[in-house]
Amino acid sequence: MSDLSRKTIITVATTGAWPKKTDTPHIPITPEEISEEVYACWKAGAAVAHIHVRDENGNAAMDFGNFKKTVELIRAKKDCDIILNLTTSGGIGLSEDDRIRPFYELKPEMASYDSGSMNWQHNSVFENNPAFLEKLAIKMKEVGVKPEIEIFDVGMIYEALYYVKKGALKPPLHFQFCLGAAGGMPATVDNLVFLKNLIPEGSTWSTFGVGGGAQPILFAGLALGGNVRIGMEDNIFYLKGQLATSNVQFVERAKRVIQEFGKEAATPDEAREILGLKK
Q: Which stretch binds Zn ion (CB under 5 A): 35-43, 82-90, 173-181, 263-271?
A: 82-90
Residue number, 11 or 87, with CB nearest to Zn ion: 87
Residue number, 13 or 173, with CB nearest to Zn ion: 13
Number of separate helices (H) and strands (E) present in the chain: 9, 16
Q: Which stretch binds Zn ion (CB under 5 A): 84-92, 131-139, 152-160, 210-218?
A: 84-92
Q: Which stretch binds Zn ion (CB under 5 A): 58-66, 83-91, 137-145, 186-194?
A: 83-91
Supply the minimum distance, in Å, between the C-beta of residue 165 and Zn ion: 26
Cα-to-chain-centroid distance, residue 45:
16
Is 85:51 a contact under the CB 8 Å cutoff?
A: yes
Distance in angstroms (rounded) separating the CA atoms of residues 95 and 102:
12
Supply the minimum distance, in Å, between the C-beta of residue 238 and Zn ion: 20
Supply the minimum distance, in Å, between the C-beta of residue 138 and Zn ion: 21
Residue number, 111 or 169, with CB nearest to Zn ion: 111
Is 102:64 a contact under the CB 8 Å cutoff?
A: yes
Q: Tell which phi-psi region holds residue 10, choosing left (phi > 0), alpha (psi between -120 and 50) or beta.
A: beta
One residue of 15, 87, 88, 176 binding Zn ion per CB under 5 A: 87
Q: Which stretch binds Zn ion (CB under 5 A): 80-88, 127-135, 209-217, 270-278?
A: 80-88
Nearest to 181 by CA among 228, 122, 241: 122
Residue number, 99 or 255, with CB nearest to Zn ion: 99
Residue number, 176 or 204, with CB nearest to Zn ion: 176
Supply the minimum distance, in Å, between the C-beta of residue 120 and Zn ion: 13
Distance in angstroms (rounded) separating the CA atoms of residues 141 and 161:
16
Q: Which stretch binds Zn ion (CB under 5 A): 4-12, 81-89, 214-222, 265-273?
A: 81-89
Bridge-based pairing of strands 124-126 and 118-120 is antiparallel
Supply the minimum distance, in Å, between the C-beta of residue 211 and Zn ion: 15
Supply the minimum distance, in Å, between the C-beta of residue 90 and Zn ion: 8
For 48-90, the DSSP string reads: EEEE-EE-TTS-EE--HHHHHHHHHHHHTSTT--PEEEE-S-S
Residue count of the chain, please give it: 279
Q: Residues in the site for Zn ion, rule: CB under 5 A?
A: 87
